[in-house]
Amino acid sequence: MSRQANRGTESKKMSSELFTLTYGALVTQLCKDYENDEDVNKQLDKMGYNIGVRLIEDFLARSNVGRCHDFRETADVIAKVAFKMYLGITPSITNWSPAGDEFSLILENNPLVDFVELPDNHSSLIYSNLLCGVLRGALEMVQMAVEAKFVQDTLKGDGVTEIRMRFIRRIEDNLPAGEE
Amino acid sequence: MAVCVAVIAKENYPLYIRSVPTENELKFHYMVHTSLDVVDEKISAMGKALVDQRELYLGLLYPTEDYKVYGYVTNSRVKFVMVVDSSNTALRDNEIRSMFRKLHSSYTDVMCNPFYNPGDCIQSRAFDSMVTSMMIQVC
């Protein structure tokens, strides 16, 4: 694989089914390994965080976006460039808080959940929680502490999937807070 | 239009069976059970030809006085059996075929659900509602 060579030019095509099934296998394995859904959610978030802190480098190298001047610009880049690049979807940005430090990403269709139906005994599982971790990890690497969480999920019967993002603070020192 | 829909695993145990609630359920279970012999017969009789043509639809398995039983078998030997009212003459082979195809693609989605373990009973709501839509179309 000559990934390094064509980074920055075109994005690779891969089967979305393979991707969806791989993620499904990952989540169900976690469900088997951990007793309760809370732990699985936490684990997914942690895994996402670890992906995010690496993915941001790839993202910056490939996308050529510059430094964002405010949180609104960041939101635009996340929705229109990052989600497009990695998941092939463009979520819409809505529900800005008056202070401009909170917004919602609305995902019309979430490629992670294509075939999924949550069984009744996993009602508190946040299936796509990995995404929140990725967002948190990636933004942390560019000196932004954010909180991301799902507030609506199509798996739980909502019409759309909504990720609520909240800006906490700028991280002054360039060292990321250690995560085990 | 269908009065009973059943999905039978490779090892001939039911994964899913549903019939219209008004009628005698056991009768349909019995009917589907009996039809499995015919399915096996058909598969072994034209097994070779079936594979060659990639024809999954088995056609009419057997008619009874009131009902017709149709069969469909996937390449992984999962069987779909559908019982329809024989008074419904408007239902042609082509429609049955497309109903089976719909059933097949819905079954595929169930299989792709990471929370479904192959071999378990099908409890998917999406599959359930798809079968319901097949049942009430005409009834």
In this prediction, residue B21 carries a pLDDT of 74
- Asked whether residue A63 is assigned to any structural domain, the reply reads yes
- B25-51 tens-digit pLDDT: 888 888 888 898 888 888 887 656 656
Looking at this predicted complex, what is its ipTM?
0.73
- Asked whether residue A164 is assigned to any structural domain, the reply reads yes
Average pLDDT, chain B: 84
Q: Which residue in chain B has the smallest CA separation from A25?
A: B114
A107 sits in the region (left: phi over 0; alpha: psi -120 to 50; else beta) called: beta
Answer whether A155's CB lies under 8 Å from A127's CB. yes
- Asked whether residue A175 is assigned to any structural domain, the reply reads no
- Asked whether residue A8 is assigned to any structural domain, the reply reads no
Lowest-confidence segment of A8-12, A160-164, B82-86 by average pLDDT: A8-12
- Asked whether residue A68 is assigned to any structural domain, the reply reads yes
- Asked whether residue A4 is assigned to any structural domain, the reply reads no
In this prediction, residue A126 carries a pLDDT of 92
First-to-last C-alpha distance (Å) of chain B: 6
- A66-124 tens-digit pLDDT: 888 889 999 999 999 999 989 989 999 998 999 889 999 999 888 898 889 888 888 88
The H-assigned helical ranges of chain B are 25-45, 47-53, 93-112, 125-136
Which residue of A115, A120, A121, A156 to mutate against B (max B Cβ within 10 Å)?
A115
User: Can you tell me the distance from the alpha carbon of A135 to that of B58, in angstroms, rounded to the nearest whole number?
Assistant: 51
Q: CB under 8 Å to A29, separation ≥6 — which residues?
A: none
Chain A interface residues facing chain B, Cβ-Cβ under 8 Å? 17, 20-21, 23-25, 27-28, 114-119, 122
In this prediction, residue A65 carries a pLDDT of 86
**Prediction pTM value:** 0.79
In this prediction, residue A9 carries a pLDDT of 46
In this prediction, residue A180 carries a pLDDT of 45
Answer whether B26's CB lies under 8 Å from B15's CB. no
Structure tokens at A70: 């405010």
Domains identified in chain A, total number: 1
- Asked whether residue A51 is assigned to any structural domain, the reply reads yes
Confidence of residue A3 (pLDDT cuts 50, 70, 90): very low
- A139-171 tens-digit pLDDT: 999 988 999 999 999 888 888 999 999 999 888
Lowest-confidence segment of A8-17, B54-63, B107-116 by average pLDDT: A8-17
User: Can you tell me the distance from the alpha carbon of A56 to that of A140, in angstroms, rounded to the nearest whole number?
Assistant: 9
Which residue of B107, B109, B115 to mutate against A (max A Cβ within 10 Å)?
B115
Contact A117 B112 (CB under 8 A): no
Helix H or strand E encompassing B69: strand B67-73
User: Can you tell me the distance from the alpha carbon of A168 to that of B123, in angstroms, rounded to the nearest whole number?
Assistant: 43
Better pLDDT: B138 or A108: A108
* CATH number, position A67: 3.30.1380.20
- Asked whether residue A148 is assigned to any structural domain, the reply reads yes
User: Can you tell me the distance from the alpha carbon of A52 to that of B87, in angstroms, rounded to the nearest whole number?
Assistant: 61
In this prediction, residue A1 carries a pLDDT of 43
What domain range is A135 assigned to?
16-117+125-170
Distance from CA of A9 to the nearest CA of B (A): 33
